Amino acid sequence: MWRAVAKDAGNLYVPNEGEEPVAYLWARTVTCDTCGFEIPLMRSFYLADKSKRTVALRPIISKDQELELETFCPKAAKGAHARTIKGARATCVNCNSVLSPDRVRAQIKQQNGGGDVIFSKDGQRIGA
Ligand SMILES: [Zn+2]
């Protein structure tokens, strides 16, 4: 299973130099009406939330306005970034604007549920 996923999706992710991916993350996205940023719809940024070991993703906006996710171990109980989708409202990770449920639903419907992502031959995302 892992090899099949790595073969199909591995070229879409750029690992840090010298590091091997151990998981791939997929999330539907909507576009922020205010700043145009592509918002990943994340119900949680936690990867593991156990009493002895908590691991979460920290969203970082690069200077190219690309979203990068960094793993870290939050020290506080609520140390991870707040979810970006709640009650069908999406919150932008870049500017904190909130998209109404109607706007989120309209974009998801337009994307056909977000399942038909189109990539160019070199792996760049070119369509919904
Ligand atoms: Zn925004």
Range of the domain at 87: 2-127
CA torsion 108→112→116→119, rounded to 10°? -60
In the reported structure, the alpha carbon of residue 38 is separated from the centroid of ligand 1 by a whole-number distance in angstroms of 8
In degrees, rounded to 5, the angle at the alpha carbon of residue 9 between the alpha carbons of residues 99 and 24 is 60
In degrees, rounded to 5, the angle at the alpha carbon of residue 96 between the alpha carbons of residues 70 and 38 is 60
Tally of domains in the chain: 1
Q: What is the pLDDT of residues 77-103, one digit of tens each?
A: 778 999 999 999 999 999 999 999 999
In the reported structure, the alpha carbon of residue 37 is separated from the centroid of ligand 1 by a whole-number distance in angstroms of 5
Taking a 5 Å cut-off on Cβ, the residues next to ion ligand 1 are: 32, 34-35, 37, 92, 94-95, 97
Q: What is the pLDDT of residues 19-31, one digit of tens each?
A: 877 777 889 999 9
How sure is the predictor about 50, in pLDDT bands with cuts at 50, 70 and 90? confident
In the reported structure, the alpha carbon of residue 47 is separated from the centroid of ligand 1 by a whole-number distance in angstroms of 24
